[in-house]
Each structure stands twice: as structure tokens, then as C-alpha cells.
Structure 1
Amino acid sequence: MTSKSMIDISAIHKDVKELLGKDKSGHGMDHVDRVLKLAMTFAENERADKEIVTLATLLHDVDDYKIFGEEHAKKLLNANTILDKYNVADKTKSKVLNIIRSMGYNKYIEGVRPSTLEGMIVSDADMCDAIGSIGILRTHAYALSKGNVFFDKDVQPETELVDVTEYKTARKSHSVQHFFDKLLRIPAILMTDSGRREGEKRKMIMVSFLRELFQEEDSQEWQKYLNVYEDKS
């Protein structure tokens, strides 16, 4: 099996890019690279194993159900293939796959969370990329890929946490709905000190943006929803 110093990270990066390079839903290689940069900063701050963090970050979306389907997501087919291709040691492979299996908002709804520091770091970095300025752009990019509008003031957000089946199948009719159904809730569930600091900063960017949007749209009802998050800031 391959030792730490022999794992070809650049080759793995290339393979991941081939899998995700055409994605237009906000889960492409640009997302992976941003998450990797943030995860490495968190790993430095939290003194985590950078090799595990790097591998898990690079591979965390290569079996995403939204891109590759439920079978890939369940079996992690692409992640397994890549790790085997580069003869990654069994112990390292197991750690990486366990991190990927425990990541994502769907897993959070199911009550599954990362149990290792490295997993918490990758999860936090991934969730942070869903919020803030980049999160606003990614949310709208995904909505456009599904033919949805940015804001429909007549469609109200979910005020309670739904189960994972309902979350996956519910139609997100506009981007702003998604801010309240998920994105504004993310900072409260981040697991590391580094992640929580970054998440709070990015939350305030979204709150400021939405406040201005609702003022321009003269939407007092939606401002009431936003007040909950402003009061917690």
C-alpha cells in the first residue's frame, strides 16, 4: 500500500476534476478547490491530519446523489475506485470513506455527524462553502439548473426541520426559500472553533444581503423570518 509521502494528490485532483468538471449545479471542481483551501486552514488551526483532510475533501462530492444518483452515494463507488487506483493504505482509506459517509446536511437531519477531528473539519469547510457570498451564488446557480426563480415572496420557508426524505424530495421553488430551509441554519451546527468563526462571518453576509433584498421588495413578512437570525447574531 502507498505510504503518506507517496500518495499522488495531484493525480487524484485530476481524476476528481474529470468527474466533476462539467457540473453546473454548484458542486463542481471550483467548489472542491475552495473547500480544500478552507479545510487546510482549519486543519492548520486545529492541528489535524492534513493528509486525511486533503483526501476526504477532494473526494467528498465524487458520489454526490444529486450528480451521480443514490447508488453511488450509498456505495461511494467513485471514491473507492480512486482510493484503490492509487493504492491508498487500508487504514487511511477507511478513515476517508467514513468521513464522506458522515458528511452533508442530509446526514445531519438523520442524526449522523463526523466523529473525528478531520471529519469535523472537512464537514465544516464544506458547509461554509454553502453560505456567505459564494453560498448566495451557488444557491442561485443550483436554482437556475433546476429552472427555479430567485425569489417568490408567496412561497414561505419551512420553519421546522423536516426529515431527510422530505428534504430530498421537496421542491425548492426559489433560491431565497433555501436560505431559510437550510443555509441560515448551518452556522449553528458547525463543529470546530475554526468552522464556527467562519460560519458566523458568512452568515452575517447573507443576513445583510437578504435584509436589503426584502427592503427593496417591500416584503415585511419575509423580514420577520430574517429577524430570528439577526437577533442571534
Structure 2
Amino acid sequence: MQVQEESILSSTEKFVKETLNNAEGGHDWWHIYRVWKLALRIAKEENANLFVVQLAALLHDIADSKFHDGDEELGPRLAGNFLNKMQVDTQVIKHVDAIIRNMSFHKTFEKKKFNSLELQVVQDADRLDAIGAIGIARTFNYGGHKNFPIYDPHIKPETHQTKEAYKNSKAPTINHFYEKLFLLKEMMNTPTGKILAEGRHQYMEDYIVRFMKEWDGEV
């Protein structure tokens, strides 16, 4: 990787850390850090463009719409403004913008408008951080942030048919495992992502089994 690219990545890291200084714990700098490192690992295995992957991983949640009144344009705009300021190549900026706009889970409810190996890599990394031990921690952190109940056996998980239904759900946190997290293993794009998802998925399944036994006083 060129010295100039390393300098841009260093500046991007600093920008993201400062921007997300007071972010919700599941979508803070450390979420970005984990996705960045996972994306880099996957990119090397899959021979993706390391510069594009790292920029997209670092900037993918610079302004998550669920913390900004549903504004899905703010994140791409902030990322684009920053990359333009850094004088990043126009084609790279367009590619990063397309990745940010198309990687979120709720985009699965829409017809796919863009695809690239780099999108697949960053999307896999982001989804991996949503499952496993880290995913469990993030899920309950967000549920607490929104004051959702932990579990209510009378409220059954739903199969959301639209983006709006998914984004507006106020279901108990445990339902999120069935409505999203357990689905992610089969949605991985890359061979490396699929392999990494196996262990994390199994960990969640084991956790839910234990949770239900404790809920009913069996253990």
C-alpha cells in the first residue's frame, strides 16, 4: 500500500474516532475498529482492494441513520465530504459511497442496486460483528439504550416484509435473534465470511438455549 494511502487511512481513523466519541456503545469507535480489522482479514483472503475496503469499513457507520432520525443521506454525505477534503481519487470515493449506501441489513428488503467484491467484504465484516459473543453484547446494549424489554414470551418474533416494519420494530431484544441475527449466517457473501460465521452462529444458538432454560428456572 502506498504511503499516501496509509496517511489517508490514518486521518480517516482519527476523523471517525472524533466523530463517534459519544456514540451508543454498540455503534461506537470500537464497533468500527472490529469491522475494520475483520474486513481487512477477509479482504486479504479474497483479494479485494485493501484501500477501498478499509475506507468503507472505517466510514460505514459515520452517521448511522437510526441515530439520526432515519436520515440515510447524512452518512454518505459526511463520508464523501471527508474523502473529498483528503483529495481521494474520485472513483474510490464513488465506490466507498456505494458501499456505505448498500451494506445495511435493511437494504435486503430492497432490490439490489450495486454490488462489488469490496461491498461483500465490508458487509460480511459488519454482519460478523452483529453475531457471536460480540453480537449478543451489542444486541442487549442497543435494547437497553431503547428501553426494550429483554424478553416477553407473549410477543412472538415476526418475519418483517418491509424495511419500514423492520426499522420501526419495538419488539423485545430476544426477538431480534430470530428476526435478524440467526439469518445472517446464510447471508454471508464471501467464502471467508461464511467460515467465520459458523462458530459465531453456533455460539448464539447455544446462548439462546441456555437463556430459555434459565428463564423457565430449569438451570
Fold match by TM threshold 0.5: yes
For the 8 Å contact 1:151–1:175, the answer to whether it is kept is yes
For the 8 Å contact 1:43–1:49, the answer to whether it is kept is yes
Aligned length: 216
Q: Distance in 1 between matches of 2:205 and 2:73?
A: 32
TM-score (norm 2): 0.92
1:14 maps to 14
Return 5+ residue gaps in structure 1 as ranges.
221-233
TM-score (norm 1): 0.87
Query: Which amino acid in the other structure matches residue 168 of structure 1?
Result: K
Q: Distance in 2 between matches of 1:219 and 1:95?
A: 51
2:129 maps to 129
1:206 maps to 204
Q: Distance in 1 between matches of 2:24 and 2:71?
A: 21
Q: Distance in 1 between matches of 2:114 and 2:193?
A: 14
Q: What secondary structure, in the 3-state scheme, does the structure 2 residue paired with 1:167 have?
A: helix
For the 8 Å contact 1:63–1:77, the answer to whether it is kept is no
1:84 maps to 84
Q: Distance in 1 between matches of 2:2 and 2:127?
A: 27
1:38 maps to 38
Runs of 4+ displaced beyond 6 Å: none
Q: Distance in 2 between matches of 1:209 and 1:132?
A: 9
The alpha carbon displacement at 1:114 in A equals: 5.2
Superposed CA RMSD: 2.0
2:164 maps to 165
Q: Distance in 2 between matches of 1:45 and 1:93?
A: 23
The alpha carbon displacement at 1:20 in A equals: 1.2
1:109-160 per-position Cα deviation (integer Å, ceiling 9, x unaligned): 21337511111000000011000000000000001111123222221111x2
Query: Which amino acid in the other structure matches residue 170 of structure 2?
Result: R
For the 8 Å contact 1:153–1:219, the answer to whether it is kept is no
* Identical residues among aligned pairs (%): 32
Q: Distance in 2 between matches of 1:67 and 1:100?
A: 16
Q: Give yes or no for the alignment of 1:188 onto 2:186.
A: yes
Return 5+ residue gaps in structure 2 as ranges.
none
